[in-house]
Amino acid sequence: MTEIEETLFNETFRIMTDATNKGLSKSGAEVTPGFRQKLEQGNAVFSAFKVHRMQNDIAAQLYDSNGVLKPFEQWKNDVHPMLDHHIGHWLRTEYNTAVRLATLRAVCRHPAEPGVDAQHQRQSGSRP
């Protein structure tokens, strides 16, 4: 499978972008258009890979161990736990991670802002 499902990509990208925007807002840092564009590009790449992986995982469940196409109900039951993981638990985890990373990235790009200590800046690589 080489193409990704556009609606699923758009929804994943929307959720990741919302999380990034929330993180940037929490940081209080001024965000340049170039920095925002890099974050959005990263969200797009991540969303494409995630949807591609999920599609392949689901497609792999179409056939049984003998190569026979499963009936729809069996296939649906087989992929349900996978969908619960991909759509529910996984997406919540990624959302929370994106919020934290966007906040950290924005703060680290502005090391003079209060609330960020020098040791954290050195560890994050924002200062030499």
| Phi, psi angle pair for 64, to nearest 5° | -80, -175
Band of the pLDDT at 116, cuts 50, 70, 90? very low
Q: Answer for the pair 113, 107: CB distance below 8 angstroms, yes or no.
A: yes
Tell me the CB-side half-sphere exposure of residue 50, using CA atoms within 13 A.
Answer: 21
Whole-structure pTM over 0.75, yes or no?
no
Over residues 96-115, the pLDDT tens digits come to: 777 777 777 777 775 544 45
Which two three-digit tokens encode residue 128?
A: 């030499």
pLDDT tops 60 at residue 10: yes
Over residues 34-72, the pLDDT tens digits come to: 999 999 999 999 999 988 988 888 889 999 999 899 998
pLDDT tops 60 at residue 128: no
